[in-house]
């Protein structure tokens, strides 16, 4: 399940419902005063190892995340939340990976930025939760079995969990979670919904003998979505490939990795998301400011 760490000054935002949204507008401390309740920073695939010096595919993952966190806390208009959409840890979700992860994201709390984390195939729920709790034992940490919906002014964000087994590539939502999601969406039919989970949709089964690398129950997931037109976008990571597509009216947003790429020339980095009454504008912040796609903006529009 997703994990949420609330910044000290912004407690109350995740309590859900109109009261929490109103609290954002009127009840914020000095640090969050310049924040934007409709802006979210979208990160994925940070792959933080136990040791800060570890590199993979020519990338120091710890340094990449530290750089992104530096950019986030320097933003003049603070995002309402930072979402790391899975594969926070390098490969096996080790406690030491999360200790390093927690120290990388530590400065966000002081800057009033809330952190939301979903589980990737290289994550492990227990150690991640422990590390984030232990980092700041007196800080409010909510395990989100009951708090997986971020309600904001223009859209509800649903954070889902596709981790099946640690370090096994296959993703799955499962019947129980799909049932929960259907119920939560049905209770919020009036407002656009954006769904988040780590794995990519996979519409065709793998070759015989091969593993599913995307979501094994994509068919059931997309049937559920098709029946609920308030769902406007599905945001995922996993493939380490920045792209935006559309299928039957639903936007498919594949976030870039903060960490390494599987294909040369693609951008890594994070995505600045601005929600509005008619959609969401995304802007790519590439790790390499000289990358031709850095600053690329895409407007997702919905009625
Ligand atoms: Zn990954």
Q: What confidence tens digit (pLDDT) does each residue in 169-193 have? A: 999 999 888 998 999 999 999 999 9
Contact criterion met (CB below 8 Å) for 38 and 275: yes
Is the pLDDT at 85 greater than 80, yes or no? yes
Does 22 have pLDDT greater than 90?
no
- pLDDT at 73 > cutoff 60: yes
Measured in whole angstroms, the distance separating CA 45 from the mean position of its chain's CA atoms is 9
Distance (angstroms) between ligand 1 centre and the Cα of 260 equals: 8
Distance between Cα 1 and ligand 1 center (Å): 17
Among the listed residues 193, 192, 152, 154, the one whose alpha carbon sits nearest the alpha carbon of residue 277: 154
Residue 267 is encoded by which pair of tokens? Answer: 């951008």
CA of 208 to the centre of ligand 1 (A): 24
> How far away, in angstroms, is 198 Cα from ligand 1 center?
9
Residues with CB under 5 A from ligand 1 (ion): 45, 87
- Of residues 276 and 131, more confidence is placed in 276
Q: Would you kindly state where each structural domain of the chain is located, as residue ranges?
A: 3-301
93-105 pLDDT per residue, tens: 999 999 999 999 9
CA of 149 from ligand 1 middle (Å) equals 23
Residue 1 pLDDT: 54
Distance 214 CA to ligand 1 centre (A): 12
Ligand 1 centroid, distance to 33 Cα (angstroms): 34
Q: What is the mean pLDDT of the chain?
A: 86
Whether 47 has a pLDDT exceeding 80, the answer reads yes
Fold category of 3-301 in CATH: Purple Acid Phosphatase; chain A, domain 2 (3.60.21)
Distance from the CA of 35 to the center of ligand 1, in angstroms? 30
Per-residue confidence (pLDDT) for residue 299, from 0 to 100 = 97
How many angstroms is it from 142 CA to the middle of ligand 1? Answer: 24
Q: 174: how many CB neighbours lie within 10 A of its CB?
A: 14
Q: Enter the pTM of the model.
A: 0.88
Residue 138 pLDDT > 50, yes or no?
no
pLDDT value for 171 = 94
């Amino acid at each position: 399940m997703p994990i949420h760490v609330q910044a000290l000054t912004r407690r109350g935002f995740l309590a859900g419902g109109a009261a929490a949204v109103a609290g954002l507008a009127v009840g914020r401390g000095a640090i969050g005063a310049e924040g934007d309740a409709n802006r979210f920073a979208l990160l994925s695939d940070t792959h933080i190892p136990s040791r800060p010096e570890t590199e993979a595919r020519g990338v120091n993952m710890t340094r990449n995340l530290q750089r992104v966190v530096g950019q986030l806390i320097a933003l003049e208009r603070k995002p309402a939340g930072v979402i790391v959409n899975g594969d926070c840890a390098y490969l096996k979700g080790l406690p030491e990976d999360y200790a390093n992860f927690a120290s990388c994201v530590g400065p966000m709390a002081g800057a009033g930025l809330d952190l939301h984390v979903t589980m990737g195939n290289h994550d492990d729920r227990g150690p991640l939760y422990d590390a984030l709790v232990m980092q700041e034992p007196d800080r409010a940490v909510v395990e989100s079995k009951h708090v997986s919906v971020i309600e904001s002014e223009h859209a509800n964000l649903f954070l889902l969990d596709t981790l099946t087994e640690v370090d096994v590539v296959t993703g799955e939502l499962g019947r129980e979670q799909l049932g929960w999601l259907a119920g939560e969406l049905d209770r919020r039919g009036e407002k656009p919904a954006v769904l988040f989970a780590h794995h990519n949709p996979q519409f065709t089964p793998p070759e015989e003998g091969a593993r599913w690398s995307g979501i094994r129950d994509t068919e059931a997931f997309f049937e559920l979505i098709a029946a609920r037109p308030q769902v406007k976008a599905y945001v995922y990571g996993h493939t380490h490939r920045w792209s935006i597509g559309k299928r039957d009216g639903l936007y498919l947003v594949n976030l870039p990795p903060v960490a390494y790429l599987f294909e040369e020339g693609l951008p890594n980095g994070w995505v600045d998301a601005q929600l509005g009454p008619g959609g969401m504008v995304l802007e790519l912040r590439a790790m390499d400011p000289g990358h031709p796609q850095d600053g690329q903006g895409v407007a997702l529009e919905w009625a």
